Structure 1
Amino acid sequence: MTFDFLLHLVPHIFVVVLCVVVTPSLYHAHVNAFQKNQLNHCDFSNGKWVVDDPYYPLYDASSDCPFIVQGFDCLRNGRIDQDYLRYRWKPFDCDLKRFDGVKFLNTYRGKKITFVGDSISENMWQSLACMLHIAVPQSNYTLTRITKHLSMFSFSEYEVSITWVKDGYLVDKFRDIKKGRILKLDSISSRNLWHGDVLIFNTYHWWFHTGKIQTFFQLGNEIMEDMDNMEAFKIGLTTWSNWVDSNIDPSKTIVIFQGIAAVHGGENDCMGRSEPLEGTKQSYPGVEIVKNVLSSMKSDVYWLDITLQTQLRIDGHPSIYTGLGTSYEDCSHWCLAGAPDTWNEILYAVLLGI
């Protein structure tokens, strides 16, 4: 879920956006590596968190990446315990390769990587921007807030851009004066911003977000006032999957679905937690829906399944260290450095086929 306080804390740097031309041969090279990884990769979703000191953390958000939004920079916001910074995800049947930012930039030279989703996508987008920046600290970068729904981080030397498109539902929505927010579950009318050599989609949290504005669902011309949110999520995700199957050329574009990140609230409150949980966890709501929808698609979509590792990282949330004072507790987003860096280590392994 995206909160307004995350938006106005990003530095606003206005620049000319670069247009990138990519040769077809490079497209095929990258897609082939991706397809090879799909066939031969290990199960990155199943593992445990282990201490890896002094290699982790991979960066200091405050000193290495001044563009990190305040809500994610837990140390700057006063968090005292620092053990949460030192954990590495260890899959049970393989090892994640060390992230090599220079290799990533050279491999994806001239490419556009686009994250589409809510502020959990923003978490991952900012993490990747930082991990690449610290790999080439002398290389000029630009961070551009093009609109309130579109942000771009780019390296002119490598002609690489990493974009975040704010779109929490992936289906059409509008506001009704009387009812409030209405989601058109069977409609994706125009997605002009959904383009890139790699598309990383995410949607989940806003479907179950409770707030002052009630959400209704529409199918065809009928507005449903009592539809179950999980059923609505399934229909909406299916609409997205049909859009991908109909509009994405798999020979040119890699599609990844960023999985469901666990929230720790209620009895599993993240307040004061300083180390990960251990063991296995029960299936998380919505995961089976994602699995079934993706398995029914014609397109080759990689499921970046982060649910178990986030279920275990109850210590990785900002909690009261968001910069908004101790009266506000965030057990949805993730501190940087932290868990989203692992998501990008998996992304690195998937995209480079290693």
Structure 2
Amino acid sequence: MKGGNSYSFRGKHVSLALVAIVLFSALMWTWERNPIATTLRSAQEWYYLPSEFPVEAPIESVGNPSLEKGATKSIAPITENRTKLQLDTEGVAAVNSIPAKSPETRYNQHVTSSRSKVGTTSLEKGVTKSIAPITENGTKLQLDTEGVAAVNSIPAESPKTKYNQIVASSRSKVCNYAKGKWVADSRRPLYSGFGCKQWLSSMWSCRMTQRPVFSFEGYRWQPENCEMQDFDRTAFLRKMQDKTIAFIGDSLGRQQFQSLMCMATGGEESPEVQNVGWEYGLVKPRGAIRPDGWAYRFPETNTTILYYWSASLSDLVPLNISDKQSDVAMHLDRPPAFMRRFLHRFDVLVLNTGHHWNRGKLTANRWVMHVNGKPNEDKKIAEIANAKNFTIHSIVRWLDMQLVSHPRLKAFFRTISPRHFFNGDWNTGGSCDNTIPLSNGSEIMQEGSIDSTIEGALKGTKIKILDITALSQLRDEAHMSRYTVRGTLNSSDCLHWCLPGIPDTWNELLVAQI
């Protein structure tokens, strides 16, 4: 009896257990099937992102959400323009999928800081595709394999596309340094003519002369289709660290050299700058008025700036070294010995020639034209214009071949500096008394160079043209004119320029192209 009751009691317990299991299974099955269960999903999945709310608000309120088994796709947040943001595998919207009109900047800032605060969201097996974001104009963004919008598929309204359009537009407009206009600039000149006595020849420092007007100093050259950076001497010396820039040419080349020395020092006394002319053999010979050139080094950056006088850019060799009155062989087809000897030490080379190519200069200097190592017998080459053209083409060909073995060297050939003698020439009473800036115009619109000889010689070579002729032609008021330190002369220098002055602009164009 007792035994029977015991078995009956146990049977009831077993029945109740089975009923409980069945009910629990039914409840769980109903729970999974019941739509009410979706109310427990992550707040981040449902949150709509209005523009006035910070992005981190919904993200920081999420603990560690996990999607229920069987979910087929996730619902992404929507921005103020109703664009859905595609979530990556960490539950954070992919930055590249944000459309152009969404608050992208704020979003990026907050997403970066909040990634570490968000738990890992695992996408359940069975997710077959993600919803591609749609922009306000209805364009779908093409997603790559990770669900992030591919950059190239961003519509035209996006910042990247606009940036590319701007770049493409600027590339189509070539910066022509010789084409542009002179504009007034109250920040000029770049240095003081009073302060740069250490580097300026007194005859070219107009502030030290009796000249009454200096309005020519207040202008800068603005090239077309490009913004030329203001000259910064610190940046220039840093750019030229451990480098040498060499000017080889006539007295206008010397002016450009002195101009750059004043620009690099700010027109201030610079006792730390070293005279290293001896390294290049630039020392004044006994009985000479001056050396054949100068070389100075800025020790802090190891930058060397030098000038070598070679008015014709041809190799000059006395026919009789022991006779000071001897004729000098002017080898038209051979570059100066100085240039051949030290070319390997140059990083930037600027050549110029022009104003010494006249019969009077050649006769006074006793220069005798030589070609192929012997006196020239070609009457055609003997003509001054042809001899100049022959020499320029010869040195350009030689230098262009040397650039193959000197890949770091940047070579420039400066075009001729214009003269402004009115009512005569330099020896017949010509003058340049105008003091009004830009009285003949301020703008250059032509494409090619006025100096067709230099331009033609450089075609097809790796040597760059430093075209300063046309822009300098507009500045007849900026020459030395008739003013000197001692007073006013009857004759005028309408070839050389006041410093500070136009050669500063030549150097700005040079530095911009280095």
- Give the alignment of 1:170-181 within 5 angstroms: 170-174=313-317, 180=327
Query: 2: CA distance between counterparts of 1:331 and 1:109?
Result: 36
Map 1:161-172 onto structure 2 (within 5 A): 161-172=304-315
Give the aligned partner of residue 508 of structure 2: 345
The 1-side partners of 2:447 and 2:360 are apart by: 22
3-state SS of 1:218 partner: strand
In structure 2, C-alpha distance between the alignment counterparts of 1:204 and 1:89, rounded to whole Å: 23
Contact 1:116/1:166 (<8 A) preserved = yes
Q: Tell me how far apart the structure 1 counterparts of residues 359 and 304 of structure 2 sit (CA, whole Å).
A: 31
Aligned to 2:5: none
Q: Which runs of 4+ in 1 moved over 6 A?
A: 135-139, 176-179, 281-286
State the secondary structure of the residue aligned to 1:256. strand
Q: Tell me the distance in 2 between the aligned counterparts of 1:78 and 1:318.
A: 11
What CA deviation, in whole Å up to 9, does each residue of 1:108-161 have, x standing for no partner?
111111111111111111111111101887782134553211201221111101
Shift of 1:283: 11
Q: CA deviation at 1:169?
A: 1.2
Match of 2:178 in 1: 45
Residue 92 of structure 1, CA deviation:
3.2
Q: Supply the distance in 1 between the matched residues of 2:444 and 2:512 (Cα, whole angstroms).
A: 24
| The one of 322, 332, 335 aligned to 2:495 | 332
Q: Report the Cα offset of residue 66 of structure 1.
A: 3.1
TM-score (norm 2): 0.55
Shift of 1:49: 1.8
SS in 1 for 2:482: coil
Name the larger-Rg structure: 2
Long gaps (5+) in structure 2: 1-170, 284-290, 425-429
Please give the alpha-carbon distance, in whole angstroms, between the structure 2 residues aligned to 1:284 and 1:218.
32
CA contact (8 A) 2:173 2:225 kept: no
Tell me, in whole angstroms, the C-alpha distance in 2 between the residues paired with 1:175 and 1:193.
Answer: 21
Equivalence for 2:376: 223
- How many residues are aligned here? 311
What pairs with 1:1-354 in structure 2 (closer than 5 Å)?
42-53=175-186, 55-134=187-266, 140-143=272-275, 146-147=282-283, 148-174=291-317, 180=327, 182-188=329-335, 190=337, 191-194=340-343, 195-208=345-358, 210-211=360-361, 213=364, 215-220=367-372, 221-224=374-377, 227-248=382-403, 249-267=405-423, 269-274=430-435, 275-276=437-438, 277-278=440-441, 287-297=451-461, 300-323=462-485, 325=487, 326-351=489-514
After TM superposition, the score normalised by the length of structure 1 is: 0.78
Higher relative contact order (CA 8 A, sep 6+): 1
Q: Which amino acid aligns with 1:50?
A: V
Q: How big is the shift at 1:179?
A: 9.3
Q: Secondary structure at the match of 1:330?
A: strand
For the residue of structure 2 that corresponds to 1:332, the secondary structure is strand
Letter in 2 for 1:339: I
Q: Secondary structure at the match of 2:259?
A: helix
Output the CA distance in 1 between the equivalents of 2:229 and 2:240.
17
Task: Judge which range, 241-250 or 208-217, deviates more.
Answer: 208-217
**Identity across matched positions, percent:** 26
